[in-house]
Chains A and B, each alone.
Chain A
Amino acid sequence: MLSYIFRRVLYMIPTLFAVTLVSFGIILIYESVSGTYVDQFRLNPNVTQETRDQLEHQLGLDKPPYLRYLTWVQGIFISTDAVNTKTGEPWKVWSFGHFNLPLLNLAIPYPRWYPYFGESFQNRRPVTDLFLQYLPFTMLMTIPIFLFTWLVSIPIGIYSATHQYSLGDHTVTFLGFLGLSIPGFFLALIIVFLLAGPLNVGSVCWPMEGRKYCLGVTGIFSQAYMGSPWPWDWSWGKLVDYLWHLWPVVLVLGSGAMATLIRIMRGSMLDILGSNYIKTAKSKGLSDRVVVWKHAARNAINPIVSVFGQFLPFLIQGALVTAVVLNIPTVELFYYQSLLNVDEYVIVTILMFFAFVLLIGNLLADILLAMVDPRIRYE
């Protein structure tokens, strides 16, 4: 098993490599059709030809594409000589950061190193820095949704299958179809409209620390709690605020995912419930609870585990439109904005990250499948 995992991880390296090549190729076509980042300023009368040439030279856009690509790849592995293109000073890819332990009031230093994925044209900062700034929002958004949808869909799927053709089952099936059919962005629009319009949640306020905080609809935190979510300065107010902003996101992102998961769970549960060993178990006089949960559900879980791998990209796609509508600064939103700006290293890096998440998801799905189904062996 371990050697299998090791082989799969090794296998990811050439795939990711191919992914970066393909993404870089797409960007090259993009640049040859619509112009590079610098070409955007061509229509701006305030930017002279000299400034543009200088900028082009600083950003390395005057170099041939293959050299740009190789420099970028080299930076990932040997990032010590990464240089700020604006000032010419080296980026601190090696430094000492520190953890703050809030209760003990301690700052623990730790060496910090990160791979250098080039520099963002738009922000003139290392892509890694920017990426790490957006990543927490993605995680704050997707991880709870991930847990929530899985914890909720499996029992609902089982209920739906054990109560086939009941009112509850019909409702679940219908809502499932509806959830599959509503595009994420449209659901986001509806929810924003309902919350801010008829329900008017903005009028719900509470006083704290001498100030008044009101509920908002968009974003993941209210303005008052904005700032980096990374430091561990969570307070009760912030948590409440976060949970409040989370539930529209859960509804938007979770509904499509839950619809799929419930469908699969219901289908496989129905298949299992019709099989002979369930009849045997029932005729032995086992209680319904034992039959459903120990005999049927234990076996019906396999198909749903194998979609685990497809679930992560699904979340990425959902998070993209949700982030745009609800205005949450996630990695996906960053990607969308960079795409419009032809910020090439950001695009390649984030596409690679997405592919990485997808591959990891597939691997995790296969490992989980082996864990829940002892019949599956990898060598």
Chain B
Amino acid sequence: MSEDREERGQSTTIHAPTSPQVHNEFDAVPSKPLTQEPLSQGQLIWRNFKRHRLGMLGGIVIILLALSALFADFLGPYSYATRHNRLGYAPPTPIHFFRDGNLTWPFVFGIKHDKDPDTSADIFSEVQSQEYPIRLFVQGDSYSLLGIFSTNIHLFGTGEPEQSTGQLFLFGTDLWGRDLLSRTLIGGRVSLAIGPAVLIFSLFVGILLGGISGYYGRWVDMLIQRLIEVLQSFPALPLFLALAAVLPPSLPNSYRFWGIVLIFSLLGWTFQARVLRGQFLALREQEFTLAAKAMGSSDLRVIFRHLLPNAISFVIVSATLAIPSLIIAEATLSFLDLGIKEPMTSWGALLNGAQQWSVLMSRSWLMIPGIFIVVTVLAFNFLGDALRDAIDPYSSNRG
């Protein structure tokens, strides 16, 4: 049966959290004084992790993306909701570094919008007579930084008013003339936060139910496993779509975000619970559990002091490996217009604007947010792989 296979698979790797400790203590002894405390499990994992270059790179990229999302209002030249009435679907603004062949401070030309008289297609051109230097720390749309300071300083921009032709759209604009760069940075908030938020919920429920299931066994186990089976016999995306459709359209976006988190967690906890249950099933037969029980420890004490610390790293790593699929799931949901709604946005919701291929054909810059999704997911994949290898020495030769 598939369950048996799973358990067998678990039991082969069960020694992993403890074995690198033993192994590495011997490694560490000659170079360090004997009085040195043995490295903690966390330190060991960190040491293994540092060897993984791609994993480190992934981690750095994620930190940078998270910072850019956090300071999105400051980094982006506009507010994510600012519309430029006559500049819908403007292409990325070219930046000029040379004037008459001489290097100068970077500047942009004014943007002119015309309609083709025959096809009524948009034509954007540069007005060579109007020059706008790109300025740093300019005043623009006001926002509150980190939700604390109210300010209107943006890292860069032209500092021109909304009606001016001197605008700087590094990624172009969308249908309503909103700056795609500012929207992409803001959209990163939802896309990046969804993974950790879901993990907190699903880890909590997964650890609780998985732990109970694995520790007590018998009918409790039976009941929880059947529940998991029913939930897992839904293919994830159609179920997510059905549940996301339930969220009323009038719901404010902050609630909508948590609604989506709950939807993902509804299925997410089952995987965490399965992993933890497998670990607990093996651990509860080990001598230290017996010893703890023989010394009169309560069930709760055995679970939280003895079993959980031994199993938790596995659960966390397996959860980290789930983040990329969560990011993609949120993007898909928003792309199909069932996730985050206007005026707030996420990377998937931004791509929703490119769904019509007639729109997409002449406006390829609308696909830029997709690159952010790919880079983020790639970074999380590398990070997850590195974490898994750091925690489990036996999987080191896997691709």
Contacts and interface: CB of A to CB of B under 8 A. Distances in A.
Interface of A: 15, 18-19, 22-23, 26-27, 29-30, 33-34, 160, 173, 176-178, 180-186, 189-190, 192-193, 196-197, 217-218, 263, 266-267, 270-271, 274, 306, 309, 313, 316-317, 320-321, 324-325, 332, 335-336, 339-340, 347, 350-351, 354-355, 357-359, 362, 365-366, 378
Interface stretch (B19-27, B123-131, B274-282, B327-335): B327-335
Contacts of A173: 399
Contact of A178 (B239, B247, B378): B378
A166 to B, nearest CB: 13
B237 interface: yes
B381 A180 contact: yes
A186 B348 CA distance: 9
A18 B230 contact: yes
Given A181-B374, A359-B233, A263 B351 contact: no
Contacts, number: 149
* Interface of A (DSSP majority class): helix
Contact of B235 (A18, A178, A321, A354): A354
A185 B399 contact: no
Nearest to A218: B357
Contact of B398 (A178, A270, A366): A270
Given A181-B377, A183-B331, A193 B360 contact: yes
Contacts of B43: none
B229 A183 contact: no
A321 B360 contact: no
A186 B336 CA distance: 12
A184 B332 contact: yes
A355 B331 CA distance: 23
B357 A351 contact: no
A26 B243 contact: yes
A190 B398 contact: no
Interface of B: 1-2, 5, 229-230, 233-239, 241-243, 245-249, 324, 328, 331-332, 335-336, 348, 351, 354-355, 357, 360-361, 364, 367, 370, 373-374, 377-378, 381-382, 397-399
Nearest to A356: B233
Contact of B381 (A19, A181, A192): A181
A378 B1 CA distance: 7
A19 B336 contact: no
Given A19-B230, A185-B351, 20 more contacts: A22-B230, A22-B234, A33-B248, A177-B382, A178-B374, A182-B377, A183-B335, A183-B370, A183-B373, A189-B351, A190-B367, A193-B357, A267-B398, A267-B399, A274-B397, A324-B336, A325-B355, A339-B241, A351-B239, A358-B233
B324 A180 contact: yes
Contacts of B243: 26
A274 B397 CA distance: 10
Given A189-B360, A189-B367, A362-B2, A29 B246 contact: yes
